[in-house]
Amino acid sequence: MDAASDASIALPVADAGLSAADVAERVAAGSTNAYTPDTSRSVWTIVRANVFTLFNGIVFACFFVLFVLGRWQDALFGLAAFANSIIGCVQEFRAKAALDRLALLNAPQARVRRDGVEAEIAPADVVIDDILILRAGDQVPADATVIETRALQIDESMLTGESDAVDKRPGDEALSGSIVVSGEGACRVTRVGADSYANRFAGEAKRFSLVASEVRGSVNRVLKWMSWIIGPVGLLVLNAQMMVAGGWVQAWQNGGWVQAVVNTIAALTAMIPLGLVLITSITFAVGAAKLAGQQVLVNELPAVEGLARVDIICLDKTGTLTAGEIAFDALQAMPDAAAGVADVLAWYGAAPDANATARCLRDPFPVGVALEAAEYIPFSSARKWSAASFATGPVGTWVLGAPEMVFGDAAADPTTDLGRIVTELASSGRRTLVLAQAATPLGSGDAEAERLPATLVPAAVVTFREQVRDDAAQTLAYFARQGVAIRVISGDNPRTVAAIAREVGLDVAEGFDARRLPEDEAGLADALEHNLVFGRVTPEQKKRMVLALQSRGHTVAMTGDGVNDALAIKTADLGIAMNSGAAATKAVARIVLLDSRFSHLPDVVAEGRQVIANIERVSMLFLTKTAYATGLAVLFGVLVLEFPFLPRQLSITDGLTIGIPAFFLALLPNTQRYVPGFLRRSLAFAIPAGVIIAVALTLYTLGAMALGVSEPELRTGSTIILAIVGIWVLTVLSRPITRFKALVIGAMFIALVAVFTVPLLTEFFQLVDPGEDAAWLVTVVTVLTIGAIEIVRFFHRRYVARALADAGSLGGGGAGEVA
């Protein structure tokens, strides 16, 4: 924030503000703005969301029952639920701590008037009745009532949802958390700390909110389905196991109910896809941790998924393609320009509400003659110009602003002197402003209505240059290879933006002037589909452009660093903010580039694609298990058969054919762009494969019983079938088989062989020789099941290929990597 200059216009001092004694009195009374908001969920909320869930309750209840029964060997499944809860809590605690630190490090300063003197203090040090001095770019630190104003406009969109900036006059309320977009004013603080509007009602908008996640939604949908059926199926299985034990009465008398309960728990825990929840949490967490190591902060783990779905990125030029730093380039005076150009530019550069561009005029145009403005219209991002008339010195009205906004189409007409100069300079990539002069001064009515004089003539063209980021070209080239479209959206001259876009490798002839954009969504979407670069875009238009792209089915990422990007970043599917940007922008972004380097975006997108594509791959493993476990429970319940597994035996197949290999597969490189329909594609394989496995195990059980196979032999045979088929399913879903995948699958197969041959392990898992009578049956059932799964996979690949073709062409890897 800049202190007011003697050469600039200042608000009349109507109130000297609080004295030191007044401030001390209010601090002693606790009437300060000190408030420590959570930037994410509270500790209890995180624990409750990760620990106290329906299925954790079922799992831990089953774990407790087995422990009480002395069957702790069969309670290994509880470790997965415990690990899932711990990992989820730890990762969200780490994200919460990072967000808290980020909020603290980027807390804006507050400007107050005390004892008649302006001073900058921490927002927490503001007290009731303080006089806040507000200028463009400031964030209001506490609720206040406007007492002095000069064309003050405040954006309250983050609080009220109203996208248009609101004109503020004396007596109006300025809400904490809102942003000053133009003008300046003074306000008296009325509410502080926890009582302020933002902290009471709108804090969530700036803190924690759930990212739209199809993966999380799909997993939750599966869990919801299972919650509806697990109760009835559990009763069905328990009844069957009690009947097998001789009936309810006899089972209670002879103790057979213990094994019946153990069998029922085995069936129920197998139905719950705990491993999928765990591996999803781990994969998201690993992705977020890897990004954090690259100075990319992910505000919420499922935001990683959003990275994979992006197919179009909207870039704000300043701070993204360019370094965000501008410098004065040159001044080209127009013929017959009136005297006083240098003094007027010096005044604009020294004005207390000068934006970054105007401040560049301070060094080349130092204040010589102290000018006093009689009337003044501050700059606003919507108008893109400001105007002033002076009591002494240069006569008339002086306007500094974007050429097209001051002179309209004439500024872009190369047949005029102004148009020729502006188009040539803008086409070279320079940012251009025009200084215009009118013979008549601004009247109070003109200033109030923010109206330009009718007889403006150009006095000078001022140019500024921007430094293009050295990593911008290679970053855009990466997106082109990955099939991610780019739209450059800027408030600058379209020719200037197009010139910089060409410099970083975009094939664009000229930029599209956003003033000619259609108002209807369909027309706007068409313009966005056929043009790459847009200039003279207002903050509201940025938001509308994001919505228009989303209406065409695009998954949109928006990057930016300024307050004018906040609306679009909040509206986009994935908002990405630079850490060097405005606090309000970072507050609504899902991802913050901590070192503000645009070159991190390829890493961000690549990590997201790897996460989501691999989760889709491994989800088929877990959902297949859920499908066959549910099928087994229903079939054995209806046929009143003893469940063919102990819980500890299911832990073998869960761990070695699904859980452990899934962990490695979920971390493999994968550049496949995500396409919606994750759950549908996964279930298209899991359900038929699960049904086949359940039917095969049921037929094996019936055949083994007909052959008179003993119960331990039957269980061992079932475990062998499920282990071999599980390894085959793992192999099928891992194709194409790379050296690393072959190593993982081979290691799991060796581990399975060890489980079935090492005496200590066979004793623990109660595995025996299945016997010669059942050996051939195990072989036949296994071979037929594998053949049937290959058929399912053949048709599943064709289904997935057709679904992906319907959804659009893929960027990056081939369909086989995911399908």
Residue 699, domain CATH: 1.20.1110.10
**Torsion from C-alpha of 118, 119, 125, 131, nearest 10 degrees:** 10
712 and 753: one domain? yes
Q: What is the distance between the alpha carbons of residues 135 and 187, in angstroms, rounded to a whole number?
A: 11
Cα atoms in the Cβ-side hemisphere of radius 13 Å centred on 442: 26
400 and 484: one domain? no
Give the residue-averaged pLDDT of 67-96. Answer: 69
pLDDT band of 231, cuts 50, 70, 90? confident
pLDDT of residue 5: 36
630 and 742: one domain? yes
**Domain contains 354:** yes
CATH number of the domain that 126 lies in?
2.70.150.10
pLDDT of residue 97: 66
Q: Are 511 and 495 in contact (CB under 8 A)?
A: yes
Q: Which class for 96: exposed (0-12), middle (13-18), buried (19 or more C-beta within 10 A)?
A: buried
CA 700, 706, 709, 712 dihedral sign is: positive
Give the residue-averaged pLDDT of 427-443. Answer: 86
**Torsion from C-alpha of 54, 58, 64, 66, nearest 10 degrees:** -170
Q: 98 pLDDT exceeds 60?
A: no
The most confident of the ranges 288-297, 422-431, 693-702, 759-768 is 693-702
Residues marked active site are found at 316
**Domain contains 4:** no
For residue 581, the SS3 value is coil
Q: 387 pLDDT exceeds 70?
A: yes
Q: Are 9 and 372 in contact (CB under 8 A)?
A: yes
pLDDT band of 622, cuts 50, 70, 90? confident
753 and 617: one domain? yes
Weakest mean pLDDT among 167-176, 295-304, 739-748, 787-796:
295-304
Domains: count for the chain: 4
670 and 811: one domain? yes
Q: 793 pLDDT exceeds 70?
A: yes
Q: 201 pLDDT exceeds 60?
A: no
**Domain contains 14:** no
Domain final position from 604, 633, 652 = 604
**Domain contains 559:** yes
pLDDT band of 160, cuts 50, 70, 90? low
pLDDT of residue 398: 92
pLDDT of residue 279: 75
Q: 199 pLDDT exceeds 80?
A: no
CATH number of the domain that 523 lies in?
3.40.50.1000
Q: 698 pLDDT exceeds 90?
A: yes
pLDDT of residue 654: 81
Q: Which helix (H) or strand (E) holds 733?
A: helix 711-734
**Domain contains 633:** yes
Domain final position from 421, 443, 463 = 463
pLDDT of residue 696: 95
CATH number of the domain that 370 lies in?
3.40.1110.10
Give the residue-averaged pLDDT of 793-816. Answer: 66
Give the residue-averaged pLDDT of 156-175. Answer: 70
370 and 248: one domain? no
Residue 354: domain span: 331-463
The most confident of the ranges 105-119, 349-363, 780-794 is 780-794
**Domain contains 492:** yes
Q: 582 pLDDT exceeds 70?
A: no
For residue 627, the SS3 value is helix
What DSSP assignment string belongs to 639-706?
TT---S--HHHHHHHIIIIIIHHHHHHTTS---PPP-S-HHHHHHHHHHHHHHHHHHHHHHHHHHHHH
pLDDT of residue 814: 36
260 and 307: one domain? no
656 and 741: one domain? yes
pLDDT band of 8, cuts 50, 70, 90? very low
**Smallest Cα–Cα separation from 424: which of 357, 330, 531?**
330
Q: 471 pLDDT exceeds 90?
A: no
Q: What is the mean pLDDT of the chain?
A: 81
pLDDT of residue 634: 93
pLDDT digits (tens, 9 = 90+) for 269-281: 778 776 777 777 7
383 and 357: one domain? yes
Q: 689 pLDDT exceeds 90?
A: yes
634 and 534: one domain? no
pLDDT digits (tens, 9 = 90+) for 629-688: 899 999 999 999 888 888 788 888 888 888 788 878 877 777 666 677 778 888 999 999
pLDDT of residue 526: 93
pLDDT band of 786, cuts 50, 70, 90? very high
Q: What is the distance between the alpha carbons of residues 148 and 151, in angstroms, rounded to a whole number?
A: 10
Give the residue-averaged pLDDT of 130-159. Answer: 83
Supply φ then ψ for residue 579, to 5 degrees: -65, -20
Q: 562 pLDDT exceeds 80?
A: no
pLDDT of residue 810: 38
pLDDT of residue 687: 94
User: What is the residue whose two structure tokens read 């119960």?
Assistant: 711
Domain final position from 571, 604, 637 = 604
pLDDT of residue 6: 37
pLDDT of residue 787: 96
Answering whether pTM is above 0.85, one says: no
pLDDT of residue 71: 75
Q: Is the peptide bond before 712 cis (omega within 30 degrees of 0)?
A: no
Q: 451 pLDDT exceeds 80?
A: yes
What DSSP assignment string belongs to 279-331?
HHHHHHHHHHHHHHHTTEEESSTTHHHHHHH--EEEEEIIIIIEEEEEEEEEE
Q: What is the distance between the alpha carbons of residues 592 and 581, in angstroms, rounded to a whole number?
A: 10
pLDDT band of 203, cuts 50, 70, 90? very low
Q: What is the distance between the alpha carbons of residues 356 and 359, in angstroms, rounded to a whole number?
A: 5
Q: Are 762 and 755 in contact (CB under 8 A)?
A: yes
For residue 583, the SS3 value is helix
Say what percent of the chain tops pLDDT 70: 85
pLDDT of residue 795: 93
pLDDT digits (tens, 9 = 90+) for 317-328: 776 787 767 788
pLDDT digits (tens, 9 = 90+) for 600-611: 878 777 777 777
**Domain contains 38:** no
pLDDT digits (tens, 9 = 90+) for 499-519: 888 888 888 878 899 888 998
691 and 598: one domain? no
610 and 599: one domain? no
Give the residue-averaged pLDDT of 230-234. Answer: 87
**Domain contains 97:** no
Q: Which helix (H) or strand (E) holds 464?
A: strand 457-468
